[in-house]
Amino acid sequence: MVLYAASTSLPGLLQSLFGYDALKRGLGHVAGRLLCRRRNACRGFVLEGDGPRWVIIAGLLIMAAGNY
């Protein structure tokens, strides 16, 4: 639900508050969508075997470092 809300509300925000036209608004989404496709392609390799455990540990360490 959060992903859907962000992808539907961000274009309106860019257009109304920042004065972007439709082309600039669309180009603002291109980078995020390309990164999502790249992440989804790599997800299968990372999550094999004990992969999920290490992904969770890395995420917790990154959050701890950010909060520190």
pTM (global) more than 0.75: no
The 10s digit of each residue's pLDDT in 1-36 is 676 777 777 777 878 888 888 888 778 777 777 777
**Rounded to the nearest 5°, which phi and psi values hold at 64?**
-65, -40
Name the CA radius of gyration of the chain, rounded.
17
Task: For the chain, report the end-to-end CA distance as a whole number of angstroms.
Answer: 29
pLDDT at 26 (0 to 100): 78
Its domain, for residue 36, covers 2-67
25: burial class by Cβ within 10 Å (0-12, 13-18, 19+)?
middle
| Number of domains forming the structure of the chain | 1
For residue 8, what are the CA distances in angstroms to 21, 29, 42, 46?
16, 11, 26, 29
pLDDT, average across residues 44-68: 81
pLDDT at 27 (0 to 100): 80
